[in-house]
Amino acid sequence: MLKGIPKILSPELLKVLCEMGHSDRIVLADGNFPSESMGKNAIVLRYDSCNIPELLDAILQVFPLDTYVDTPVSLMALMDRDVGKIETPIWKEYESIVSKHDARGSAAVGQVERFEFYDRARTCYAIIATGESAVYANVMLQKGVV
């Protein structure tokens, strides 16, 4: 046990977060995300019993966001055919969590078109596969410096 480290962060995940360098990216993937196929060149960790907001809050307690990019937190944007049909209240939760840990607040959060998000995910350092059931709940973090 360590002091000051959220209990949700496993030794394996802490190791991954420590190994990551400036500008490396990590995806916190919802239960529908194709984590294994996207993560063929990445470390894939299973966190099936976790929801993303709890994990995001814990990670941001130890993980600096990149200050050299405008939006180091990327969400998968709605597809055109889903606009107006699918609600994404989890995005507000993410903005609130990011605001607790980064002075830019919700301005640090941006959206990326779905297939561009997939392309970026294929080059991530790690993908954390969660059991998050909210749709469009995937979030990508870009690491900064301490």
Is there a catalytic annotation at residue 66? yes
* Residue-number span of the structural domain to which 87 is assigned: 11-142
Is there a catalytic annotation at residue 101? no
Q: Which of 30, 47, 57, 66 is catalytic?
A: 66
* pTM of the entire predicted model: 0.96
CATH number at residue 104: 3.40.1650.10
Residue 30 included in any domain: yes
Residue 111 included in any domain: yes
In the chain, the number of structural domains is 1
State the pLDDT at residue 1.
73
- Burial group, residue 65, by CB count within 10 angstroms (0-12, 13-18, 19+): buried
Residue 117 included in any domain: yes
State the pLDDT at residue 2.
83
Helix, strand, coil fractions of the chain, as percent rounded to 5: 35, 20, 45
Residue 34 included in any domain: yes
pLDDT in tens, 72-119: 999 999 999 999 999 999 999 999 999 999 999 999 999 999 999 999
Q: What is the mean pLDDT of residues 63-68?
A: 98
Residue 21 included in any domain: yes
Is there a catalytic annotation at residue 22? yes
Angle at 13 between CA 12 and CA 14, to 5 degrees: 95
